[in-house]
Amino acid sequence: MAELLNSEIKEQVRQVFADLKEPVEVLFFGRAEDCLYCEDTQNLVREVTELSDKLSLRSYDLDEDAETAAAFHVDKAPTLVLAAKNGAEVQDYGIRYAGIPSGHEFSSLIHDLLRVSSRDSGLTQATRDFLSKLSKPVHLQVFVTPT
């Protein structure tokens, strides 16, 4: 199987990953049929998570593992969930990628992994203050295209 990331990119990402702090678990949800980018997405995230021992990957099938998919509110394939791993416990923050994170989104993925690993959103105090008072769900969907 051909690697998606060349050795130069891997080395760059490995250097960035030196700043990883706490463990992060990536949950991949795919589907055996009618999913053009499932295989590439799974391979991509496997190659990325292999670059640090602070990152781990778990793969699920949207149909076969329907209960897990429902528990994580995942209804699209491929979907990546970026979660904190605290010992045996997986803490879901609600961070999702639907579709392959390629091009510009690849760099978003790498930075998101660092953020989740730091357990710190890095937002301004004003934003943190507002979010700390939230008492109802906010669902953000950001539509992007590969660049």
**Residue ranges binding other proteins (CB under 8 A):** 36-37, 73, 76, 82, 93-101, 105, 108, 111-112, 115-116, 119-124, 126-128, 130-132, 134-146
Nearest residue (CB) to other proteins, 7 versus 147: 147
Give residue for tokens 């209804």.
75
Task: Of 64, 46, 63, give the one whose Cα is nearest residue 55.
Answer: 46
Shortest separation between residue 66's beta carbon and other proteins, angstroms: 19
R_g of the chain, CA atoms, integer Å: 16
Cβ-based nearer residue to other proteins, 32 or 144: 144
Q: How far is the CB of 57 from other proteins (least distance, A)?
A: 18
Residue 71, classified by CB atoms within 10 Å of its CB into exposed (0-12), middle (13-18) or buried (19+), is: exposed
* 14 vs 73, beta carbon nearer other proteins: 73
Question: What sign results for the dihedral spanned by CA atoms 85, 110, 29, 71?
Answer: positive
Minimum distance from residue 77 beta carbon to other proteins (Å): 9
